Amino acid sequence: MLNPLIYVLVAMFGSSAWISTNSVWMQLPLMTPTLPEGWNLPSYLVVIIQLGCIAPLIYTILHKCTNLPIPKAPIILVLMIVCTLTNLALAFFWYKTGTVFGGEHSVALIIIMFFMAMANATTDVLFLPYMSSFHQIYLTAYFVGMGFSALIPSLVALIQGSNNYECERYNSTSPYQAHYTAPKFGIRTYNLIMFGWLCITIVSFIFLHWFRHILEKSSMFNEKSQTNREINGLKPTCADEIDPTPSNDDQNIERIPKTSEESENENDKHGRISIRYWTFLIILLVINAQMNGVIPSISSFATLPYSQQTYHLALTISYGAQPFGGLISMWIRPKSITIFLVLTIITSGFTGIVVLLAAQSPTPLLHHSFWGAFISIVASVGASFGQCYLRSAITAAVRDDSPNDEAKIFWCGVFMQIGSFVGSWIMFPLTNTYHLFKSGNLC
């Protein structure tokens, strides 16, 4: 029986996954004008996040290749504390810079982001296996919570607003310069809000794991009462409805060997499934390369030329749309591989628009027009929504095609990570070495 309190605690627990990293992305519109990397800052952070993925790799090797006892709950608690402390550190040290390789860089932000990424990436291999100890009904609550990890930072950032600017000059001969107006609250306050939320998630997990027996007492009493009613004849038991014991007739059925034609049909079906599965893997690789590598690296170049507000809205709405993409995939799930390919082409089209606008920076299409900013935001949101929908829908389709084959789900995750890694490492030199995407003066 569903326990509402446990359901809420599971959702809060799920929201702690990646919320700290997502909160950093929501503050990029405020960070890019201040930090030395400027418009290139997102591409640096994308690579740092991928480097942080070494932590789950180490955990997986220790878990699969050694006999070391790994207590999941204490490790999860440590990871949640690390994420919470990194948000607190970010609130006070995000602007600290230093000289590295002869250039000024955001040393504090990069170091904090690395530890944050390691903790968040490790949650991917710990949180879901931990949820296997709960009834399946609570898995929905966990995924709802994961949606909150993107939605909550987006909503807080929308309330915060952006640092809009006006072009002014000191006299008639001096050049125009951007003078920023402060948002409703700054980066420090934003990160302290996220810190408070993460503290609540830690308390939720402590109650969920170490006080779970107390929370389940009411449910146990309800279940016992229900069982007594069933025993007393008020409700037929499963044994009365279905007899699981095979009959003698079933046991004596002669097993007819398969004909060669039936074997060929099975081989053809297996071949079609293999083609379908490999197509899914390639789509996941491409989609995640776009989602976690391409778009995050160049979003500033595609939106900032229009305005600071455009960059702010593109980021916040895109991240806010992600949980809805995952949610819709639970009800609208295509069966045909052709539909998946068409949706991939459409989503890649949105990504292509973002890349085109970024390549034209600092004077992209319809530079001084409302419609240019509108196209930039719609392309960013459309790509983000489509990528999240496809990722969830394809994973669900693979699970439906092979419900008892966990290895296929595992390789879906591997190809997602490969796509993210390849996308980020391709975009970094294009942005920071070859300078294919150029920043400009806002005025």
Question: Which tens digit of pLDDT belongs to each residue from 184-210?
Answer: 999 999 999 999 999 999 999 999 989
Q: How far apart, in Å, are the Cα atoms of 286 and each of 121, 190, 302?
A: 20, 33, 20
Give the distance from CA 170 to its chain's centroid. Answer: 45
pLDDT for 253 equals 46
Residue 271: which pLDDT band, with cuts at 50, 70 and 90? low
Query: Cα separation of 303 and 367, whole Å?
Result: 10
What distance in Å separates the CA atoms of residue 3 and residue 135, rounded to the nearest whole number?
11
- Please provide the average confidence, as pLDDT, over all residues in the chain: 84
DSSP 53-106: THHHHHHHHHHHH------HHHHHHHHHHHHHHHHHHHHHHTT--EEETTEEE-
**pLDDT at 407 exceeding the cut of 90:** no
- Can you say whether residue 306 is alpha, beta or left, with left for phi > 0 and alpha for psi between -120 and 50 degrees? alpha
Q: Tens of pLDDT along 134-144?
A: 887 787 788 88
Averaged over 64-82, what is the pLDDT? 89
Residue 431 contacts residue 365 (beta carbons within 8 Å): no
Strands of 73-228 (E only): list them.
98-100, 103-105, 165-168, 177-180
More confident residue, 165 or 97: 97
Q: What is the mean pLDDT of residues 48-54?
A: 91
For 314-358, the pLDDT digits (tens) are: 999 999 998 898 888 878 889 899 999 999 999 999 999 999 999
Going by C-beta distance under 8 Å and a sequence separation of 6 or more, which residues neighbour residue 37?
A: 44, 105, 106
Position 227 scores a pLDDT of 44
